[in-house]
Amino acid sequence: MSNTPQHIAKPKSPDIGLRQAKRLCQMPHEKRLAFIAEGLPIILQSARGFWSAAKALENQPREAAVLEGFALEEAAKILILMDMVRCPRRQLPARIGPMTGWFYDHLARIIYTEATDRIRATDVAYLRGAIEHMRKAHYLEGSMGEYIVPNWELYIRESRLYADIEAYGDGDPGWSAPHVHDRFFKDFVPTTIKLVEAMASLGLFSVDALTTVSEVWDRLAFATTQDHRDATRLVWETLEQMQAAKLIPEKASQDDANLLAWHWQLPMYALDLSRIPISLEELKAEQERLLWAEA
């Protein structure tokens, strides 16, 4: 008998506890809409709590910035779930898996907020190109690419949160104290926060409203050349059908509707939001190319 150890499968851990968004993949469409409708107000309340706490820390800018970041990432979860609803049902089986991963991925959530706050996309192809830089794990900075830097979005997030040891391009380690940035516009509210509040005011978080969103947006897949005019048309059609069905609360305003039409980013379900690894060899080669180009 051989003394070679045989492979023994590890016992499977109970699939219980938090981080169970993947279960959305297994739900029938109507049950998934109802489940999402139940969760959206919970997520919004979480975002509001972080945002309110941040406003109370006027004299602690670092801590306030951390809480604002948490609020934005919670709001991004709402936008991710709404994109699940906007995704055409024939395409959703292929897309919902990655999207449930985005629900927990810091970079994906930051990309959602950045796309909402800073990118005025002409079409899906433009949006795909606009977010590519945010996905790179490392890239070059400086007039000739002399500095190798980590993903900026994740670096800013973690450098606010933690004291840590970091390394630079020359290999020498150093201490990183939590970053504090001056807050020039203390009353500024990001578009992402205003957008999810407008959604709530318009009644978009009810089961019937989500069903309307799903039916209206099912008619067009946003994959390449679909643009902001297409999205705006579907926003107004959604609101018109909701109004006809008396799903929009009286407290909703025209400003809420305009904000939704103007600032709800193109659906991102067809995009890749995963981090792009860049090897040191690739970065060095690009540095050399830039140096020769300058010479």
Are both 72 and 194 inside the same structural domain?
yes
> How many structural domains does the chain have?
2
E strand map for 119-180: 138-141, 147-150, 164-167, 173-176
Are both 188 and 100 inside the same structural domain?
yes
Are both 114 and 205 inside the same structural domain?
yes
In a domain, 166, yes or no: yes
CA distance 130 to 124: 10
Q: pLDDT tens digit string along 135-171? A: 999 988 877 777 888 999 999 999 999 999 998 776 7
Are both 113 and 178 inside the same structural domain?
no
Are both 44 and 111 inside the same structural domain?
yes
Residue 206: pLDDT above 80?
A: yes
The pLDDT of residue 183: 65
Q: How is residue 249 written in tokens?
A: 């609360």
In a domain, 83, yes or no: yes
The pLDDT of residue 7: 62
In a domain, 8, yes or no: no
Range(s) of the domain holding residue 233: 24-125+184-263
Residue whose pair of structure tokens reads 């045989």 in the numeric block: 6
Q: pLDDT tens digit string along 101-124? A: 999 999 999 999 999 999 999 999
Phi, psi of 34 (to 5 degrees): -65, -40
Are both 151 and 226 inside the same structural domain?
no
In a domain, 12, yes or no: no
In a domain, 9, yes or no: no
Are both 39 and 147 inside the same structural domain?
no
Encode 171-186: b = buried (16+ Cβ within 10 Å), e = exposed: eeeeeeeeeeeeeeee
How many residues comprise the chain? 295
pTM for this one? 0.92
Please give the residue that has the higher pLDDT: either 179 or 99.
99
